[in-house]
Every structure is written in structure tokens, then in C-alpha cells.
């Protein structure tokens, strides 16, 4: 039994124990194998999902925010790209040239080299911002250096090249590229495009992995460009005239709204107070409101046009019907409504009542219509409901419910009180009265283009409903023309054009007190030309200070100035010498064709028809006539005959942008959007410019821009536009 020696027993022990160890090891590895299977196969999906989520750090990549352009394609709001520079300290340090990098970057971006060096070598941080929103010039300089560890992100900045122009309608964009008011807000989702959180994979140093497994799901979708129906020039005209009237009367607020009655397209929306959307933070919330659509007021006499249209359409009255004005109209309960004039108008036709804006006449008409018919037109013209204009924050207006309407209410409503409307509502209704009775949906957007230059949508005019007939519309227009030619609207007279309109002077409602005796809203609502309405315009001046508060005195001249320039800009031919309109005779004649005749022949033919002529120019032969042959004209009217063709229209006018405080690079950016030549002199930021901001300059003309520090004499940098 040799096996039983001590040595053998020891050997056996060794073997047994090795086997034991092997057994333990096998169990351990088997356990690990199953553990691995558990993690990879059973729980794999869970970990994979979590890993996907953790792998990518979402970095929002903002698309280009779409621009807003006027009807002619002039930029009103554009987005420019600026670069924000940052450094990755680890890369900077690893390059071994930290000092050189800091020096070069500091020189290009005008920073302190030593401070910068300290920051960009702070390896404890994944990345440090060097400078944000660097304009193009210095940015390009830094980019071209190609330095290690210096990176940048493109960031978008909103620029309103025309400053305050149309600001209340445009709105503004907050820091997070979100529209906060006006079009920027109501079209935010379209303008902003789709911000895509690009999932950028990061490595353990907090850097974006260079070329390795980087992933984006989809490309950001750039925002669309909006082409407005608003024309920059018309808008400018409105703002210029609004500026004058607000300077004279320091109103609480004031606005001018111009619309194309046939289509409902808004051509201009000027508002006071306003703001510069480039620096929106410096203005009150009140300045940024778009009150023409968001605030209601009691319109007063301008509302009489609506009453007139309804009454004439229903045949309740006619323009020749006679009414009496014998002082205040009394109602049960001792209430009375006075006429605006202290001395009663006496007996007058409805037509004269309109010309005089006589309250008792309209109260009588209102009572004749009765509640039912009155409300039919109140609702028919869209009062008490939104017009549906493409702007955010529109108000409904306030209409007294029909079942609560007493005779007194009907009376006050007939003269434009009690009912609260928004200016856009009133002008939309007025547009329907002027265009043959079609209530159009007001529009500010004409076209929508995508970023690649494809036309996405042309916004077609949209009729809400037919409210009155063409006949009624013509009757009202004729009556309104006489308001301007004979009535209280004479201040609005536009030389050479047949215009119509209605003044309004409404008492403001003071909460808790009733109608104020001091606070008024002066307004004028006009149409031109009356024989073929091209524009309707509403001017509202809320609480004017000073000697006068009447719509005729304050707003009439504004309409006159605006309509004159706008019609000239729209190349609507001048029609008559208005001083010679004899509106007492409503007989119309058809104009003959004078073109080609001699001045003498024209004179004799005109005399035969009872038409007077005004010759323009000293030629012998008639080259043009206004109104055109075949047009209807009231007997006694004047035809303008040109012996020389009118001058070629001047080059389009462009509002010069505000450049003060901008850098040369920023000016260059703005220059690209203008058909103007900018002559820059000096360095630094803009100190002065000629012509001054906001003034109109011919397209292609030169704008001299003086910068902070003068250069050597004679060095001018020409940053010509396209």
C-alpha cells in the first residue's frame, strides 16, 4: 500500500485542493457568463434606451428666422448671423501655444490678452465663452486664424433695418428667438422654422466628438419669409403724417390705417406711441401695443356711415327725405341726446344731415330702422366679432345685446356711441360700404415664401359676406363725397381727386363717470377716389390736447395729406380740380375724348357739355386728360388737360435706415438690404448720417455715414448695395 505514505496523502491533498479551486473558478466564470447574458440580453434594451438618451447632448440648432418684407420686397425684419466664440481650454493648453492664441484672439476681438489667456487655459472647464455675438468683420478675422481650441457657434440676431417703421405691427423677437408681439408673434411658428435639437455626441472632455459617431436627426427647417400687403412707402407716409399730428396735439394715442377696399389688404398701419424693436426692452409695454386691432373705442360719427348704409339698403329712408333738427332729442326718463352743434340745424334732407353730421337726423333714421334692422347691419358689418386679421391680440369689440337695447341705446348707437369697435373693425366695415357691399377679411400677409425662394402661398382676398348692394354702396359714396366737398369734411379735401369721408368726434367713456366732456376721440374715415375706391383710410387720434378736439379739424388734414401722397404713389390719376365741383347739381355727364385735340377745340367742346377745363402746360395739343374719356362727371366739374405728358414718376423712395451706433460691419449688413449706397468714413460706430434716419431718399442715391474716428483724409469705403 504505497499510496498510504505521508507523501502520497500530501499529493492527494494538493490535487483535491486544486480541483476544488478549479471548481470554484468554474462556478465564478459560469456566474459571470450568466450575469453578462442578463445585462446584454435580458436588460439590454433598457440600457440601450438609456444609453441613447445619455449619449447625445441636445444642442438646439436654431434655423434661420424668416424675414418680413413689405409689398415691394423691402426688408422690414431680417435675421443676421453673428458668431459666438468659445475656447476649449484643454485643446488650447495641449497646443502649447496658449499665449500666441490668446494674443491673436484678443487683438481681433479687442479683448485683454492676459485675462483671456487665463480664461482659455482654465482646463477645469469644458469650454469658456470668449465673446458672444461678434459681428461679421472681427468674426471673419478670428475664423481665418484657424487657431487650435478656438471654436464658434453661429447665432441669430433679429434686425429691424427700418427702426420704428411698422414696429407695432411687426412686433419684436425675444432673446430665445420667440416672437413677442405683432406679426413676429402671430406668425412665430412659421417664421421661426423648426428648431431642431441636434443631438451632438460628446466625449468625456465635454467636447463634441470630432467626426466620430456624431448624429443629427433632421436638418433644421428654416423659417418662411413673409411678404406683407403693407407698402413701406405708404407706411412711411402714414407715419410721417402721424408724427405731425401727434406733435401738434400730443394725444394719448393715435393711428392711421389704410386698406384696399376691394381686397381687404392693409396698406399701412401707423401707430403712436411706438417703439424700436431693435431695442424693445427700452420701451414701455404700452408703446409696443398694436392698438388699431387690440383696443376698442366708441367711434362716434364715423359710425354713421354704417347706419346710413343699412337704412338706405333697407329703403327705410332716402337721401332726399327731410328731417328736422330742433335741439336735443328727448327720451322717456328725462334723458336727452344733443346735436353736436349748439345752434340746431333746422330742417334738412338726409343728405344734408349727413353733410352736417347731424345727430337728431341719425337718431330719427335709427328709430325708423328699428332694433331688428339696426342689429342686422351691426352684425352684418362684423361688429362685435373679430375680423380675422392675421395679427395677434385682436379684440372682439363690444355690442350691446339686442334684448337689452332700449330706444335711448338705439339712439346713441345711431350716432356711434355705446358700441365699442376696434379701428380695424370699423375700417373693414367701411371698406364693404365702399366696395359694393362685400365685407372682406382684412389681410396683412400677401405672400409666404420658403427659405429656398419658393412661393409657398399667395394669400387670396377673402370675402366674408355681401352686406349691402352695389346701388346702396354708390349712394353712400356719393353722399360721402359731398361731406368732403360741401359738408364738415372739407378739411380732408384732396386736390385733384374725388374723395369722400366722414368725420368723427366721439366722447370718451371714463370708467364709472360716463361720457367725458374733455376727452374725445377725433377721427376721420375717408375713401378715395369715390368713383373707383382704391383706398379707405381711418385716422384716429385719442384724446388730443389743445384748442380743438374735432375730427374735422384734427384728422381731416391728415387724411388730405395721406391720401394725396398715397394716391400719387399708387399712380392713381388725378381727376378733378376739386374747388370747382358743383355738388348741388348731381347730374352727370360722360366725358368726351379730348386727347389729340387742340386746346381751342377742347375748350369749346367742354363748354358745350358744361364742363370746365384746366390746362396744364403750354403746348398746343392735348396729350392726356383726367378724368379719362368715358368717365362720368358731375356737370360743372373740371377736367385737367395736359398739353405735355406728365413727368415720369420719380425713382422709388426709400426710407433711410437708422444707423447711429452701428459698426461698419453692421452697416454693411444693413446695406445689403437696401438699394442705397452707403459711403462710410472713419472707424468705430456710426456718429452721424446724411440724409437723416427716416427721411426718404431716391433708390440708388448715396447716404453718407460718418463713424467715430476719422480715417486719413480721402479714404472712403464704399459699401454699395446691390
Residues 501-540, one symbol each (x = binds another protein by CB under 8 A, - = not), give: ----------------------------------------
User: Binding of another protein at residue 8 (CB under 8 A)?
Assistant: yes
Task: Please report, for residues 102, 242, 282, 368, 547, the alpha-carbon distance to residue 250 in angstroms, rounded to integers and kept in the order given.
Answer: 55, 11, 21, 40, 12
In 10 A of CB 248, how many CB atoms?
Answer: 16
Residue 301 annotated as catalytic: yes
Residue with cell 381686397: 263
Closest distance of CB 685 from another protein, Å: 40
Q: Which of 15, 385, 466, 632 binds another protein (CB under 8 A)?
A: 15
Query: Given the rule CB under 8 A, which of 96-104, 209-217, 482-490, 636-644 is the region that contacts another protein?
Result: 209-217
Q: Taking Cα atoms as reference points, which of 441, 474, 174 lies closest to residue 312?
A: 474
Indicate the residue among 209 and 349 with the shorter CB distance to another protein: 209
- Report in angstroms how near the CB of residue 118 gets to another protein at its nearest: 24
CB of 58 to another protein, least distance (A): 16
Q: Which of residues 66-105 bind another protein (CB under 8 A)?
A: none
Task: Give the x-and-dash track for 24-63 against another protein (CB under 8 A).
Answer: -xx-xxxxxx-xxx-xxx-xxxxxx-xxx-xx--------
Q: Which is nearer to another protein, 111 or 199 (CB)?
A: 199
Q: How far is the CB of 190 from another protein (least distance, A)?
A: 36
Beta strand spans in 40-149 (E): 56-61, 68-69, 75-87, 128-134
Residue 39 or residue 455: which is nearer to another protein going by CB? 39
Pairing of strands 75-87, 150-159: antiparallel
**Cell matching residue 144:** 481665418
Residue 150: CB minimum distance to another protein, A: 14
Residue 596's SS3 state is: coil
Q: Which of 65, 120, 212, 287 binds another protein (CB under 8 A)?
A: 212
H helices of 659-709, where?
A: 664-671
CB of 214 to another protein, least distance (A): 10
Does the footprint of another protein cover residue 125 (CB under 8 A)?
Answer: no
Question: Could you give the residue ranges of the DSSP H alpha helices within 445-500?
Answer: 470-485
Total number of residues that touch another protein (CB under 8 A): 55
With respect to another protein, which residue has the nearer C-beta, 6 or 647? 6
Give the orientation angle of helix 470-485 with respect to helix 423-434, to 10 degrees: 110
Q: Which of 194, 195, 209, 469 binds another protein (CB under 8 A)?
A: 209
Per CB under 8 A, does 129 bind another protein?
A: no
Taking CA atoms, 535 is separated from 57, 418, 501, 526, in Å, by: 55, 28, 11, 8
92 vs 309, which CB is nearer to another protein?
92
**Of the two residues 22 and 510, which places its CB atom closer to another protein in the complex?**
22
Q: How far apart are CA 193 and CA 445, in angstroms?
A: 17
Distance of CA 399 to the CA centre of its chain: 27
Cis peptide before 123 (omega within 30 of 0): no
Between 10 and 645, CB nearer to another protein:
10
- The span from the CA of 224 to the CA of 448, in Å, is 7
The angle subtended at Cα 556 by Cα 551 and Cα 561, nearest 5°, is 145
444 and 405 Cβ atoms separated by less than 8 Å: no
DSSP 328: P
Choose which of 23, 580, 586, 715 interacts with another protein (CB under 8 A). Answer: 23
For residue 631, give every residue at least 6 positions away whose Cβ sits within 8 Å of its Cβ, in sequence order, or none: 531, 575, 590, 591
Stretch that binds another protein, among 20-28, 132-140, 452-460, 462-470 (CB under 8 A): 20-28
Q: SS3 of 177, please?
A: coil
Contact present, 664 and 683 (Cβ < 8 Å): yes
Q: Does 124 bind another protein (CB under 8 A)?
A: no
C-alpha neighbours within 13 Å on the C-beta side of residue 158? 30
Distance between CA atoms of 464 and 362, rounded to whole angstroms? 27
Scan residues 607-646 and list those touching another protein (CB under 8 A).
none
User: Does 7 interact with another protein (rule: CB under 8 A)?
Assistant: yes
**Choice between 33 and 688, CB closer to another protein:** 33
Annotated catalytic residue, options 301, 357, 485, 523: 301
Alpha-carbon distance 316 to 308, whole Å?
Answer: 10
Per-residue exposure over 515-526, b if at least 16 CB sit within 10 Å of its own CB, e if not: eeeebbbbbbbb
Min CB(98)–another protein separation in Å: 16
Query: Closest CB to another protein among 12 and 471?
Result: 12
Work out whether 20 is an interface residue with another protein (CB under 8 A): yes
Residues 421-480 that bind another protein (CB under 8 A): none
Minimum gap (Å) between residue 215 Cβ and another protein:
9
Secondary structure class of 171 (helix, strand, coil)? coil
Residue 28, Cβ density class (10 Å: 0-12 exposed, 13-18 middle, ≥19 buried): exposed
C-alpha cell at 138: 472681427
Measured between alpha carbons, how far is 167 from 288 in angstroms, rounded to an integer? 8
Q: How far is the CB of 135 from another protein (least distance, A)?
A: 30
Indicate the residue among 94 and 698 with the shorter CB distance to another protein. 94
Residues 167-206 as x/- pattern, contact with another protein by CB under 8 A: ----------------------------------xxxx--
Residues in the chain: 722
The CB-of-88 to another protein minimum distance in angstroms stands at: 11
Q: How many CB atoms lie within 10 A of CB 443?
A: 23
> Which one of residues 110, 124, 146, 213 is an interface residue with another protein (CB under 8 A)?
213
Query: Please, what is the minimum distance in Å from the beta carbon of residue 86 to another protein?
Result: 18
- Please pick, from the candidates 175, 210, 513, 579, the single residue that binds another protein as defined by CB under 8 A: 210
**Cα angle: 130, vertex 660, 77; to 5 degrees:** 75
Instruction: Please identify, using beta-carbon distances, which residue of 16 and 132 lies nearer to another protein.
Output: 16
**Catalytic residue ranges:** 301
Q: Which residues bind another protein (CB under 8 A)?
A: 2-8, 10-23, 25-26, 28-33, 35-37, 39-41, 43-48, 50-52, 54-55, 201-204, 209-213
Amino acid at each position: 500500500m504505497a499510496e498510504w505514505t505521508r507523501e502520497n496523502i500530501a499529493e492527494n491533498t494538493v490535487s483535491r485542493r486544486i480541483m476544488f479551486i478549479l471548481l470554484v473558478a468554474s462556478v465564478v466564470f459560469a456566474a459571470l457568463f450568466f450575469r453578462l447574458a442578463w445585462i446584454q440580453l435580458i436588460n439590454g434594451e433598457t440600457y440601450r434606451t438609456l444609453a441613447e438618451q445619455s449619449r447625445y447632448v441636445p444642442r438646439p440648432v436654431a434655423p434661420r428666422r424668416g424675414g418680413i418684407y413689405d409689398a415691394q420686397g423691402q426688408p422690414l425684419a431680417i435675421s443676421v448671423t453673428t458668431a459666438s466664440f468659445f475656447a476649449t481650454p484643454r485643446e488650447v493648453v495641449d497646443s502649447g501655444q496658449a499665449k500666441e492664441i490668446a494674443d491673436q484672439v484678443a487683438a481681433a476681438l479687442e479683448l485683454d490678452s492676459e485675462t483671456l489667456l487665463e480664461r482659455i487655459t482654465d482646463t477645469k472647464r469644458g469650454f469658456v465663452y470668449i465673446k458672444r455675438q461678434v459681428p461679421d468683420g472681427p468674426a471673419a478675422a478670428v475664423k481665418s486664424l484657424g487657431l487650435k481650441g478656438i471654436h464658434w457657434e453661429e447665432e441669430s440676431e433679429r434686425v429691424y433695418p427700418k427702426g420704428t417703421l411698422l414696429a407695432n405691427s411687426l412686433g419684436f423677437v425675444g432673446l430665445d428667438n420667440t416672437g413677442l408681439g405683432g406679426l413676429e408673434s402671430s406668425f412665430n411658428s412659421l417664421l421661426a422654422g423648426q428648431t431642431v435639437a441636434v443631438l451632438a455626441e460628446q466625449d468625456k472632455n465635454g467636447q463634441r466628438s470630432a467626426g466620430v459617431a456624431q448624429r443629427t436627426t433632421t436638418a433644421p427647417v428654416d423659417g418662411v419669409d413673409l411678404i406683407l400687403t403693407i407698402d413701406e412707402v405708404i407706411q412711411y407716409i402714414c407715419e410721417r403724417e402721424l408724427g405731425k399730428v401727434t406733435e401738434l396735439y400730443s394725444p394719448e394715442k393715435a393711428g392711421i390705417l389704410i386698406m384696399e377696399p376691394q381686397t381687404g389688404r392693409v396698406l399701412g398701419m401707423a401707430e403712436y406711441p411706438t417703439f424700436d424693436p431693435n431695442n424693445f426692452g427700452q420701451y414701455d409695454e404700452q408703446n409696443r401695443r398694436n392698438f388699431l386691432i387690440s383696443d376698442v373705442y366708441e367711434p362716434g360719427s364715423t359710425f354713421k356711415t354704417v347706419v346710413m348704409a343699412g337704412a338706405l339698403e333697407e329703403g327705410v329712408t332716402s337721401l332726399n327725405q327731410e328731417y328736422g333738427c330742433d335741439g336735443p332729442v328727448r327720451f322717456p326718463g328725462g334723458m336727452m341726446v344733443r346735436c353736436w352743434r349748439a345752434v340746431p340745424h333746422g330742417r334738412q334732407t338726409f343728405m344734408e344731415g349727413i353733410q352736417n353730421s347731424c345727430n337728431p337726423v341719425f337718431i330719427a333714421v335709427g328709430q325708423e330702422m328699428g332694433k331688428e334692422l339696426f342689429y342686422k347691419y351691426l352684425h352684418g358689418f362684423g361688429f362685435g366679432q373679430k375680423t380675422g386679421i392675421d395679427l395677434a391680440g385682436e379684440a372682439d369689440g363690444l355690442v350691446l345685446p339686442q334684448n337689452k337695447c332700449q330706444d335711448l341705446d338705439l339712439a346713441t348707437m345711431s350716432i356711434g356711441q355705446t358700441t365699442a369697435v376696434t379701428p380695424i373693425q370699423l375700417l373693414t366695415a367701411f371698406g364693404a360700404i365702399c366696395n359694393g357691399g362685400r365685407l372682406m377679411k382684412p389681410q396683412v400677409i400677401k405672400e409666404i415664401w420658403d427659405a429656398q425662394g419658393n412661393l409657398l402661398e399667395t394669400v387670396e382676398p377673402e370675402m366674408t359676406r355681401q352686406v349691402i348692394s352695389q346701388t346702396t354702396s354708390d349712394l353712400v359714396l356719393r353722399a360721402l363725397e359731398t361731406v368732403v366737398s360741401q359738408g364738415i369734411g372739407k378739411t380732408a379735401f384732396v386736390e385733384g381727386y374725388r374723395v369722400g369721408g366722414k368725420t368723427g368726434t366721439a366722447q370718451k367713456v371714463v370708467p364709472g363717470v360716463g361720457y367725458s366732456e374733455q376727452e374725445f376721440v377725433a377721427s376721420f374715415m375717408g375713401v378715395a377716389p369715390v368713383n373707383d375706391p382704391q383706398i379707405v383710410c381711418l385716422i384716429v387720434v385719442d384724446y388730443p390736447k389743445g384748442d380743438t378736439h374735432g375730427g374735422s379739424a384734427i384728422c381731416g388734414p391728415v387724411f388730405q395729406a395721406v391720401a394725396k401722397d398715397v394716391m400719387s404713389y399708387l399712380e392713381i390719376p388725378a381727376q378733378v380740380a376739386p374747388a370747382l365741383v358743383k355738388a348741388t347739381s348731381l347730374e352727370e355727364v360722360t366725358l368726351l375724348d379730348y386727347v389729340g385735340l387742340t386746346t381751342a377745340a377742347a375748350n369749346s367742346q367742354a363748354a358745350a357739355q358744361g364742363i370746365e377745363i384746366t390746362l396744364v402746360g403750354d403746348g398746343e395739343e392735348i396729350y392726356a386728360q383726367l378724368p379719362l374719356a368715358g368717365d362720368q362727371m358731375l356737370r360743372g366739374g373740371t377736367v385737367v388737360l395736359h398739353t405735355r405728358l406728365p413727368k415720369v414718376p420719380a425713382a422709388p423712395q426709400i426710407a433711410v435706415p437708422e444707423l447711429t451706433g452701428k459698426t461698419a460691419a453692421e452697416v454693411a449688413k444693413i446695406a445689403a438690404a437696401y438699394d442705397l449706397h452707403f459711403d462710410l468714413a472713419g472707424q468705430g460706430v456710426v456718429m452721424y448720417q446724411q440724409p437723416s434716419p427716416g427721411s426718404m431718399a431716391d433708390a440708388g442715391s448715396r447716404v453718407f455715414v460718418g463713424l467715430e474716428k476719422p480715417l486719413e483724409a480721402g479714404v472712403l469705403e464704399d459699401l454699395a448695395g446691390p
